[in-house]
């Protein structure tokens, strides 16, 4: 065999061996593709694809972290908004309570002022009534009728009994209605204590039975009548029971 033919045969055998090896590593259920030539070159491996995978995972983790941060920020913003809303509601409630308390205090003060004004007005009216009452002092005519009526009013204040008719009857018998009448002839006159006035009262009796609020003048008609009725009430029960010298 020529030398060149031997080289071609070796090369062909090597090629067939490589092809056989390649065919033997293909799984039984896999499809095969026929190529015109099978390369016996070695497969070269590089670190570049691994670096790309690592970078892709890092990028994914970074994106996830950003999303988590965004969610947390959103939650925090919502919580802050809720807290702010709650604080605003509490402040509004507090302000409303303060306004209500202020209104209640104002109403209480107004009611107190109104009550004070009412009490003051009532006191003023009472004072006016007293003043009017004092101004409207009862007056009596300066005659026998007026003297008896004024005496009866004084007697009523002091609880001394007696009537207009009983007093008038005894006055007419004792002095005929003369307030300056004096008895200078009876036993009292002889003893130095003559009877005087409308109801002919002796000075010691007038002094002992004088009624407060009347004159100390024994000839004063009202004072004389009142003292005599006071004495008659003590001794006879009332001037109405006197029908003769007493």
- Tell me the pLDDT band of 17, cut-offs 50, 70 and 90: very low
- 201 forms beta bridges with 196
- pLDDT over threshold 70, residue 15: no
Higher pLDDT, 53 or 21: 53
- 196 forms beta bridges with 182, 201
CA-based R_g, the chain, Å: 71
Higher pLDDT, 9 or 213: 213
- pLDDT over threshold 90, residue 246: no
Q: So what's the pLDDT on residue 9?
A: 40
- Give the SS3 label for residue 77: helix
Q: So what's the pLDDT on residue 27?
A: 45
Tell me the average pLDDT across 8-28: 40
Q: Are 3 and 10 in contact (CB under 8 A)?
A: no
Q: Are 159 and 226 in contact (CB under 8 A)?
A: no
Q: So what's the pLDDT on residue 1?
A: 46
Tell me the average pLDDT across 2-14: 41
- Tell me the pLDDT band of 58, cut-offs 50, 70 and 90: low
Q: How far is CA 140 from CA 45, 137, 146, 151, in A?
A: 150, 10, 5, 10
Higher pLDDT, 39 or 205: 205
Max distance between CA atoms of the chain, in angstroms, equals 218
Residue located via tokens 């090369």: 11
- Express each pLDDT in 83-106 by its tens digit: 888 888 888 888 888 888 889 898
Percent of the chain with pLDDT strictly greater than 70: 72
Percent of the chain with pLDDT strictly greater than 90: 43
**164-174 helix and 144-157 helix, angle to the nearest 10 degrees:** 130
Q: How far is CA 242 from CA 187, 198, 203, 229, in A?
A: 20, 15, 20, 10
- pLDDT over threshold 80, residue 20: no
Q: Are 223 and 217 in contact (CB under 8 A)?
A: yes
Higher pLDDT, 27 or 152: 152
- Express each pLDDT in 128-167 by its tens digit: 776 666 667 899 999 999 999 999 999 999 999 999 999 9
| Among the listed residues 209, 217, 220, the one whose alpha carbon sits nearest the alpha carbon of residue 158 | 209
- The average confidence (pLDDT) of the chain is 80
């Amino acid at each position: 065999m020529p030398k060149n033919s031997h080289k071609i045969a070796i090369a062909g055998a090597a090629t067939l061996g490589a092809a056989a090896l390649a065919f033997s590593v293909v799984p039984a259920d896999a499809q095969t593709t026929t190529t015109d030539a099978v390369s016996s070159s070695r497969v070269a491996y590089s670190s570049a694809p691994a670096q790309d995978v690592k970078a892709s995972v890092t990028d994914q983790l970074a994106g996830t972290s950003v999303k988590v941060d965004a969610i947390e920020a959103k939650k925090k913003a919502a919580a802050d908004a809720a807290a702010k809303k709650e604080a605003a509601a509490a402040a509004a409630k507090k302000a409303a309570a303060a306004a209500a308390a202020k209104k209640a205090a104002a109403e209480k003060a107004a009611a107190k002022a109104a009550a004070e004004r009412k009490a003051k007005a009532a006191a003023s009216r009472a004072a006016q009534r007293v003043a009017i009452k004092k101004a409207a002092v009862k007056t009596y005519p300066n005659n026998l009728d007026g003297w008896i009526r004024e005496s009866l009013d004084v007697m009523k204040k002091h609880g001394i009994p007696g009537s207009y008719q009983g007093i008038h009857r005894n006055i007419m018998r004792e002095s005929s209605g003369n307030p300056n009448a004096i008895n200078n002839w009876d036993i009292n006159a002889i003893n130095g204590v003559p009877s005087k006035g409308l109801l002919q009262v002796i000075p010691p009796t007038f002094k002992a039975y004088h009624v407060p609020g009347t004159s100390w003048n024994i000839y004063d008609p009202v004072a004389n009548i009142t003292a005599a009725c006071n004495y008659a009430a003590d001794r006879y029960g009332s001037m109405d029971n006197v029908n003769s010298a007493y």
